[in-house]
Amino acid sequence: MPVTDGASVSERTVGRLTLYRRLLNEALSAGTESLYSRELAERSGNSAAQVRRDLMVVGYDGSTAHGYSVRDLLKSLSDYLDRPGGERVALIGIGNLGRALMAYFTGRRPGLRIVAGFDKDPYRHGRVIHGCRCHPMNDLETCIAKEEINVAIVAVPGPEAQGVAERLVRAGVRGILNFAPVPLHLPAHIHVENIDLTMSLEKVAYFSRNGGTERKGNN
């Protein structure tokens, strides 16, 4: 039974849970039916204590005899992490990066689907890219309402990102994955996850000169 919540969970913990899920799926494909915290720790690059603490939050109890049942744990993780019925995602900005993201997410995780694309370029309107139709920006609000979309990916140029994000929030979006290299200023209840490609590459460049920072596990 999943924990009745109450305690809020950190961003890092949720990240690690999604990683565990992936590793558990791999294990299941390889025919492994049960796993110890120690094994999941090695594969994920975290400590065994952290794995146990993380798994506590999803409310699934392992056994001291066989560790964790892979199937049962996957079920608990899905109950904890996924929206029942699946998550419907909008993608704003169908440039080079946007199209690559379309391709990347298509079919990768069922239950996490990009169902609508938007671009200001009329040339792209009506086109279907990787099974997803591209709409004009004017249709943003109505389309997001009609399709019951809660999550959006912003892949527009930096100067346009803040305006687009504000429109998304007014349309009812609650979470944004932002690829534009600008800090978005939005209400506190909106969750924003920034992927700043240039910043990441600059960090790698810096530490490639100034010694590795043996950070463990996930980003």
| Closer to DNA by Cβ: residue 55 or 169 | 55
Shortest CB 52 distance to its own copies, Å: 18
CA distance 134 to 124: 7
- Interacting span for DNA (CB under 7 A) from 32-40, 89-97, 165-173, 197-205: 32-40
Binding mask 124-163 for DNA (x = CB under 7 A): ----------------------------------------
CA distance 59 to 53: 10
CA 191 to chain centre: 11
3-state helix, strand, coil in the chain (%, to 5): 45, 20, 35
Find the binder of DNA among 14, 28, 42, 67 (CB under 7 A). 67
Shortest CB 18 distance to DNA, Å: 14
Report which of 63, 66, 59 is spatially closest to residue 17, judged by C-alpha positions. Answer: 59
Supply 14's token pair.
């949720």
Residue 26 lies near DNA (rule: CB under 7 A) = no
Q: Which does 36 bind (CB under 5 to 8 A by kind): its own copies, DNA, none?
A: DNA
Q: Which residues of 21-36 are buried (b: 16+ CB within 10 A; e: fewer)?
A: bebbeebeeeeeebbe
| Closer to its own copies by Cβ: residue 99 or 125 | 99
Tell me the backbone φ, ψ of residue 55, rounded to 5 degrees: -70, -25
**C-alpha angle 186/187/193, rounded to 5°?**
55
Number of residues that bind DNA (CB under 7 A): 24
Find the binder of DNA among 44, 46, 76, 178 (CB under 7 A). 46
Residue 210 lies near DNA (rule: CB under 7 A) = no
Residues that bind DNA (CB under 7 A): 10, 12-13, 36-38, 46-50, 52-53, 55-56, 60-65, 67-68, 216
